[in-house]
Chains A and B, each alone.
Chain A
Amino acid sequence: MDEATARKWDRAAASFDMTNGVGPEKRWGPVKRELFARMRGEILFLAVGTGLDIAFFPPGQRITGIDISGEMLKRAAPRAAGYPGEMTLQRQDVLALDFPDAHFDQVFTSCTFCSVPRPVDGLRQLLRVLKPGGELHMFEHTGSKVPVFRQVMDWMTPLSRNFGPEMNRDTVANVQAAGFIVEKVRNVYLDVVKVIHARKPATA
């Protein structure tokens, strides 16, 4: 377990809903609801945080939500308990997932890989726990290829990484580097907020 990262998110937990629970959830809510409508089978939801996204999950699914922060999970517990389906929460680090190989049909992430310290290693863990042909669906903010946006995000990152995400990651390239087949990428806001659909090769 990466305790430094866990501590960072433990510290962020107390104010997380206050900063992220109104504007960001309202703004991206419809996109997330559409993405999560794809849920089926045995599902891993990564970095569940305080559970704000649970409101957008379709009912009746079997979902395992994980997070590296115990403080986040404490806040997520009542939301998970209210989910009209089967939802369990576990404290786990994506860099060392304690699940057997080929266990899940789908993995969902929501603004996660902006914060995982070694993103390609984390994505390789997801590849491992997915069944062959299993699906990875991501709602992520990434760096931009537009120079002016990229530059500002490069400037903001040293500050933002202290309390939360890195603003300038190339998550699509990371997904490919980890061994996934990227099936579709949709820009939601500029070329920064993206929905990424990828699949584990059937022969992997």
Chain B
Amino acid sequence: METRPYFVLGDCFSNALVGAFSGWAGIVWMPHALGFWLGMLVSMAGAMAVTMLLALTLLLRWFGAHEVMVPTMIGGMAANMTVCAIAHHHAMSALDGAWMGALIGIGVLFLTYIANARLTREA
């Protein structure tokens, strides 16, 4: 389990950033005219393309590595889906979407740390 502050903070930063962007995209890039499911897919595809580029370049360089970006991408997807779903039923600002996305990103990271502790103990 990663305990070095540089990487723990880096993981938090990466997941919060990707989550926040994906949450923001869930509000701003959601084409409501396409309906909920298709609109969410379009919004998510855009968010994933941008965040994957970000993850595989800047975030990978500083907080490495490819495989560490897996929970980051999952956090981004979860953030986008959740924000899209909530925003479909309730008015939500882009800033609120970003905050919620960041929290979801951190939540996914927390679950990943639990999974990591379990999987590295099992082997």
CA A146 – CA B112 in complex, angstroms?
11
Given known contacts A23-B10, A152-B74, is B67 in contact with A190 (CB within 8 Å)? yes
Chain B residue with Cβ nearest A111: B65
A107-137 vs B, CB cutoff 8 Å, 1 = contact: the mask equals: 0000000000000000000000000000000
- State whether A167 touches B66 (Cβ < 8 A): yes
Check: B56 CB closer than 8 A to any chain A CB: yes
- State whether B65 touches A24 (Cβ < 8 A): yes
Check: B93 CB closer than 8 A to any chain A CB: no
Check: B89 CB closer than 8 A to any chain A CB: no
- State whether B120 touches A141 (Cβ < 8 A): no
Contacts of A51 in B (CB 8 A): none
- State whether A20 touches B64 (Cβ < 8 A): yes
Check: A96 CB closer than 8 A to any chain B CB: no
CB contacts under 8 Å to B, within A174-204, are 185-194
Task: Quote the shortest CB–CB distance from A157 to chain B (angstroms).
Answer: 10
- State whether B63 touches A190 (Cβ < 8 A): no
Contacts of B74 in A (CB 8 A): 148-149, 152
Given known contacts A18-B61, A23-B62, A189-B116, is B67 in contact with A160 (CB within 8 Å)? no
Check: B68 CB closer than 8 A to any chain A CB: yes
Identify which of A19, A156, A191 contacts B52 (C-beta below 8 A): A156
Check: B41 CB closer than 8 A to any chain A CB: no
Chain B residue with Cβ nearest A186: B123
Contacts of A164 in B (CB 8 A): 66
Check: A4 CB closer than 8 A to any chain B CB: no
- State whether A152 touches B73 (Cβ < 8 A): yes
Contacts of B66 in A (CB 8 A): 24, 141, 156, 160, 164-165, 167
Contacts of A28 in B (CB 8 A): 64-65
Contacts of A165 in B (CB 8 A): 66
Contacts of A153 in B (CB 8 A): 70
CA A141 – CA B67 in complex, angstroms?
7
- State whether A185 touches B67 (Cβ < 8 A): no
* 30 sample A-B contacts, Cβ–Cβ < 8 Å, listed by A number: A19-B57, A20-B61, A22-B61, A23-B60, A23-B61, A24-B60, A24-B64, A24-B65, A26-B7, A26-B64, A27-B7, A28-B64, A28-B65, A144-B70, A146-B119, A148-B74, A153-B70, A156-B66, A159-B52, A159-B56, A160-B66, A164-B66, A165-B66, A185-B123, A189-B68, A189-B120, A190-B70, A190-B115, A190-B116, A192-B70
Known: A23-B10, A167-B70, A191-B119. 17 other contacts (CB 8 A): A19-B60, A19-B61, A22-B61, A23-B62, A26-B6, A141-B66, A152-B73, A152-B77, A160-B56, A167-B67, A187-B120, A188-B120, A189-B2, A189-B116, A189-B120, A191-B123, A192-B70
B residues contacting A by CB (< 8 A) are: 2, 6-7, 10, 52, 56-57, 60-71, 73-74, 77, 112, 115-116, 119-120, 122-123
Query: Closest 5 A-B residue pairs measured CB to CB?
Result: A23-B64, A24-B64, A24-B65, A187-B123, A192-B67
